[in-house]
Amino acid sequence: MSLKSFSRARAVHLMLVYTGGCNGCDIEIVNCVLSPKFDVEQYKVFLTWNPREADVLVVTGPVTKLNEAPLKKIYEAIPNPKAVIAAGACALMGGVYKNIHGDIPSEEIMGPVENIIPVDAKVPGCAVRPEDVISGVVAALPKLLEAD
């Protein structure tokens, strides 16, 4: 067992990336970590803002044209094996922003996250429930624990 596999078996680091939308899902995901009700840190699930430390990339919001290249760059910077979770209706299908004619023109929405990078787990909702985010992380764990 490699050092990375050994470490991953004992702690998981999530990196949260916002690609547009209302931030409702971001608030609920951070709630999983900071809230005493969920407190996933007691189970060794931590938030990180460094892609080189991340094991799981959690993406929220519809991917806009402006955020497409940075999202790909962050994905590439995360070491293998890595998992991606698309969280919320916007990340899964564009949500209310898919055909909007207001602040974000519909041609600026590149689509769901899975059109840009591979997705391993999907968490539906608008906004997502913390319990469902935790289930998404658990669903992504087998990919992280694969032998190097």
pLDDT by residue for the chain (148 residues), tens only, comes to 666 666 666 789 999 999 887 888 899 998 888 888 888 888 888 999 999 989 999 999 888 888 999 999 999 999 988 999 999 998 998 776 666 555 555 567 777 899 999 999 999 998 899 999 999 999 988 888 774 5
Gap between the Cα atoms of 90 and 104, Å rounded: 13
Gap between the Cα atoms of 113 and 121, Å rounded: 11
Query: 0.75 cut: is pTM over it?
Result: yes
Q: What is the tally of structural domains in the chain?
A: 1
Domain holding 70, by residue range, is 3-146
Q: What is the CATH number of the domain that holds 33?
A: 3.40.50.12280
